Chain A
């Protein structure tokens, strides 16, 4: 079945550092890919998405490119802020059926120090 693998965490960075969070997936067909963010005490929010190969999703300074050849969707940000401290989830949707289910990775906690 479909699966999403995220790098092990947690990750601690200093403010203005460069961020990369790795995500790889296994799926049949042509999934859509997502990054969700969960701030403390809140539910998940969609951060960005990409629906086909070579698409780049971007939002709030974060970017991720859908790489079909490496089955990856790594999240990057050039300069993190304390306010980016949260849990980040990579997810895929298999695009089959009337409303595709989301398959999530385990999530990774990012802490940004001032």
Chain B
């Protein structure tokens, strides 16, 4: 298995632009998680899905952030409009119920 796939690996954009991060979970995993990693705040859970349905989005920082999972093999995290404080590494992870979470390589986002 290829593991969790994220794209792009690096994204540089200007303040105010829309940013879309993509994730393909491991086949057969029915949970998908989005995390954000910064020096100041460490690793934070933003949202997670079960069978494509959002279960807990209490970590989403504000309305500028949205996440979707249209099918079992694809999820997006969108930031619109982006701000410099959104600069971080964004990780996607997936698992089966109560099993180990497998992380993708992350997307490093820089908002200028």
B-binding residues in A (CB < 8 A): 41-46, 49, 89, 98-107
Query: Measured between alpha carbons, how far is A104 from B36 in the docked complex, in Å?
Result: 11
A-binding residues in B (CB < 8 A): 4, 31, 33, 42-43, 45, 48, 50, 55-56, 91, 93, 95, 97-98, 100-101, 103-106
Does B42 lie within 8 Å of A45, measured CB to CB? no
Does A44 lie within 8 Å of B50, measured CB to CB? no
Does B42 lie within 8 Å of A43, measured CB to CB? no
Beyond A43-B4, A106-B43, 17 additional contacts (C-beta under 8 Å) are: A41-B105, A42-B105, A43-B93, A43-B104, A43-B105, A44-B43, A46-B100, A46-B101, A49-B100, A98-B50, A99-B55, A99-B95, A100-B98, A101-B33, A101-B56, A104-B42, A107-B43
